[in-house]
Chain A
Amino acid sequence: MTDVDITSKTMDGMGPHGTKVGLLRVLGPAHVWALGVGIVLVGEYMGWNFAVGKGGAYAALIACWFAGILYTCVAMIDSEVTSTVASAGGQYTQAKHIIGPLMAFNVGLYLVFAYTMLEAANAITAGYLFSVVASMAGYQAPLDQRPFIILVIMFLAWLNYRGVLATLTFNLVITAFAFIAILVLFLATSGIAGGGIMQHAALFEGHELPYGWIGILAAMHFGLWYYLGIEGTTQAAEEVRSPARALPFGTLAGIMTLLIAATLTWYVSSGVLPWEYLGDGVNGSVAPLFDTARLSGSTALVWLLGFGTLFATLASANGCINDASRAWFAMGRDKYLPGWFGAVHPKYRTPYRSIVFLVPIALIFALGAPLDQVITFSILSGLLGYTFMPLNIILFRRKWPLHSIKRGYEHPFHPVPAITLLTLCGVTFFAVFLGYGTQLVAMIGFYIVVSLWFHFWRYRFVNRGAQFTMPWPKPLGY
């Protein structure tokens, strides 16, 4: 293959195995950061506070830090594997090379569902925000939220369709805005820059742990919401200019950003809002940072955090469309799903058929199901995915020990992160069981049925040896 020049601008992404049209390699580490943090930051603006309702403010802080440990393990493990298996599809491709096809199919579905459900949740929230703004602006009749929900999904899908660089640059700008809004709120209300309004001790008095120890466990369910989606950075692997460097850097910078944002969010919100109000995300505080800004008495802060909330939901939905379509595309390309989905747009260089196909799916969820249900499905799919990761890294290190292949990043202290992650996943399964046991069983029932369908029907269309694309030696023990 002598006619291939990887530095060529026009032939970029087109390679020796017959790829005539491939995804475009244009992204840098900042885009990876924007993709990871952009998806998650909405969790700081809304949703995390359900953890307060589950066990009180202290329980939410403990859940915040334990979930932080869980996600730090996720980020470390992901960084190592994905800096080596750099391909669209992320964890799906990792599972295919390390554990096996059926696991990969399941992981691919976890990804698509976690992101599509999250996208739907974001669109519902954005529609709600428009209705709040309308009523604040003095509109009497209840606003029809549906056109705004549909518009959010349509606009972001269109943006994704037209190219990845514009999509993630847009994400970078609005994510940075939303993050800075949290920092400004913290500086303005904590007393560091004068005029503090924090009164943690007075607000916690008599309500330190309203449910006792079990409340802390229960809070882990929504503790995940502080960080859910950071693992999505791996989906950009085929579109970053240097995956081995940009992916670990963007992912680890992302998790650090989120640890800061999550702790600051807890600090300002719990220091101003009583826990019963803060913890009820339906009848009480739908958008806790926005409510904190309202109580600060500053109109500028109200506007800042209002826009921060809207931008965070848009950034999240945008990143979700990007990630879900990459995972769907990667599965189509391997014939795990109909091969028709494995197409790349010759001009925009995006997986356009997957993007278009997932639009009506997101609309069904956004218009047809209640918000907490959609969020729970997203969390459950994510949780199943995190349970897969420790198995993944243990087998990865066993089949290809450190010296056998070149890794872009090696995470320290193996297997401590893997074991920690597995333990925390167990705790979170129990927390989900306390509130949503039926959905958990229904969800797993669904995955069992789909797995049988894949193993006994769908897998016949898949090439056996050719789906293993990494230039690695034979795994140990085979």
Chain B
Amino acid sequence: MAHYTPPKQGRASQLIDVIVLVILTVGALFVPLWLGLAGAAKSVETPVANPTWETLGQTPAQAAQYEALGYTPEAAHDLILARFDYSFSITALLTMIAVILLYYFLILRFSEVEYREVIAEKFGE
């Protein structure tokens, strides 16, 4: 197999490559944020009016710790009652699995092609 000689990369081209990578990275982080798709928020399903430690479901021992931390039942209301919503759709789950599998398939496939070339040149055929 012929020995591959890579082209020399100029300063400007190097700079452009770095800028492309930075833009992609910042994009991956901030696009979900801008679209408002980010994060799992907790919410209070059934608020309790005039909460006491008993109606918030706290035993005296638990209430004592909250008081030691400086909470009143009113102040701790949201903190104690907020819950995550773990319901999900099967379609979304299958989409995620498909995306992950596709991704690993893609890199393993391309890597294998490039790897064979590396081994062929290194160990000379």
Inter-subunit contact A206/B57 (CB<8 Å): yes
Name the contact of A448 in the complex, choosing from B22, B92, B106, B118 (C-beta under 8 A). Answer: B106
Closest 5 CB pairs of A and B: A100-B111, A465-B121, A100-B115, A338-B14, A435-B40
Categorize the interface residue count of chain A: 35 or more
Question: Within 8 Å of chain B (Cβ to Cβ): is A441?
Answer: yes
On whether A433 and B93 interact (CB within 8 A), knowing A101-B115, A102-B107, the answer reads yes
Inter-subunit contact A453/B122 (CB<8 Å): no
On whether A102 and B114 interact (CB within 8 A), knowing A202-B62, A205-B59, A206-B57, the answer reads yes
Residues of B within 8 A of A209 (CB): none
Q: How far is the CA of A211 from the CA of B87 in the complex (A)?
A: 12
Interface flags, B95-117, vs A, CB<8A=1, else 0:
11001101110111011111111
List, sorted by A's number, 18 A–B pairs whose CB atoms are closer than 8 Å. Answer: A100-B108, A101-B111, A101-B114, A103-B107, A273-B69, A276-B79, A276-B82, A277-B79, A295-B68, A338-B18, A369-B33, A440-B96, A445-B99, A448-B103, A466-B122, A467-B118, A475-B119, A478-B120
Inter-subunit contact B84/A218 (CB<8 Å): yes
List the interface of chain A (C-beta within 8 A of B): 53-54, 99-104, 106, 113, 199, 202-203, 205-207, 210-211, 214-215, 218, 272-274, 276-277, 280, 283-284, 291, 295, 335, 337-340, 357, 361, 364-365, 368-370, 372-374, 377, 387, 391, 429-430, 433-451, 453, 455, 458-468, 474-475, 478
Inter-subunit contact B57/A451 (CB<8 Å): no
Inter-subunit contact A203/B25 (CB<8 Å): no
Inter-subunit contact B61/A102 (CB<8 Å): no
Q: Report B104 CB to chain A, min CB distance, Å.
A: 7
Q: Report B76 CB to chain A, min CB distance, Å.
A: 8
Taking A106-B107, A449-B24 as given, write out 13 further A-B residue pairs in contact, using a Cβ cutoff of 8 Å, ordered by the A residue number.
A100-B118, A101-B118, A103-B108, A103-B111, A202-B62, A210-B83, A276-B79, A433-B93, A436-B38, A441-B96, A446-B24, A448-B103, A460-B7
Q: Report A235 CB to chain B, min CB distance, Å.
A: 20
Categorize the interface residue count of chain B: 35 or more
Q: How far is the CA of A372 from the CA of B32 in the complex (A)?
A: 13
Q: Report A51 CB to chain B, min CB distance, Å.
A: 12
Residues of A within 8 A of B99 (CB): 441, 444-445
Q: Report A210 CB to chain B, min CB distance, Å.
A: 8
Question: Within 8 Å of chain A (Cβ to Cβ): is B48?
Answer: no
On whether A211 and B86 interact (CB within 8 A), knowing A429-B100, A445-B28, A474-B119, the answer reads yes
Q: How far is the CA of A205 from the CA of B59 in the complex (A)?
A: 8
Q: Report A31 CB to chain B, min CB distance, Å.
A: 30
Inter-subunit contact B61/A442 (CB<8 Å): no
On whether A437 and B116 interact (CB within 8 A), knowing A102-B110, A214-B86, A373-B38, the answer reads no
On whether A451 and B107 interact (CB within 8 A), knowing A203-B61, A437-B92, the answer reads yes
Inter-subunit contact B118/A277 (CB<8 Å): no
CB-CB nearest in chain A for B22? A361
Q: Which of B63-86 contact A (CB under 8 A)?
A: 65-66, 68-69, 71, 76, 78-80, 82-84, 86
Residues of A within 8 A of B116 (CB): 478
Inter-subunit contact A464/B96 (CB<8 Å): no
Residues of B within 8 A of A453 (CB): 20, 24
Q: How far is the CA of A478 from the CA of B118 in the complex (A)?
A: 11
Q: Report A379 CB to chain B, min CB distance, Å.
A: 13
Inter-subunit contact B9/A461 (CB<8 Å): yes
Q: Report A135 CB to chain B, min CB distance, Å.
A: 14
Q: How far is the CA of A277 from the CA of B39 in the complex (A)?
A: 20
Q: How far is the CA of A468 from the CA of B71 in the complex (A)?
A: 61
Residues of A within 8 A of B38 (CB): 373, 436, 438-439
Inter-subunit contact B65/A462 (CB<8 Å): no
Inter-subunit contact A283/B79 (CB<8 Å): yes
Name the contact of A443 in the complex, choosing from B28, B78, B95, B107 (C-beta under 8 A). Answer: B28
CB-CB nearest in chain B for A369? B29
On whether A437 and B96 interact (CB within 8 A), knowing A102-B107, A373-B33, A446-B24, the answer reads yes
Q: How far is the CA of A16 from the CA of B95 in the complex (A)?
A: 51
CB-CB nearest in chain B for A221? B40
Residues of A within 8 A of B115 (CB): 99-101
Q: How far is the CA of A283 from the CA of B112 in the complex (A)?
A: 48
Inter-subunit contact B37/A438 (CB<8 Å): yes
Name the contact of A459 in the complex, choosing from B31, B59, B65, B114 (C-beta under 8 A). Answer: B114
Residues of B within 8 A of A291 (CB): 69
Q: How far is the CA of A478 from the CA of B84 in the complex (A)?
A: 51
Interface flags, B1-36, vs A, CB<8A=1, else 0:
001101101010011011011101111111111000
Which among A274, A372, A449, A455 has the greatest number of chain B C-beta atoms within 10 A? A274
Q: How far is the CA of A284 from the CA of B75 in the complex (A)?
A: 11
Residues of B within 8 A of A430 (CB): 93
Inter-subunit contact B65/A464 (CB<8 Å): no
Residues of A within 8 A of B122 (CB): 464-466, 468
CB-CB nearest in chain A for B5? A463
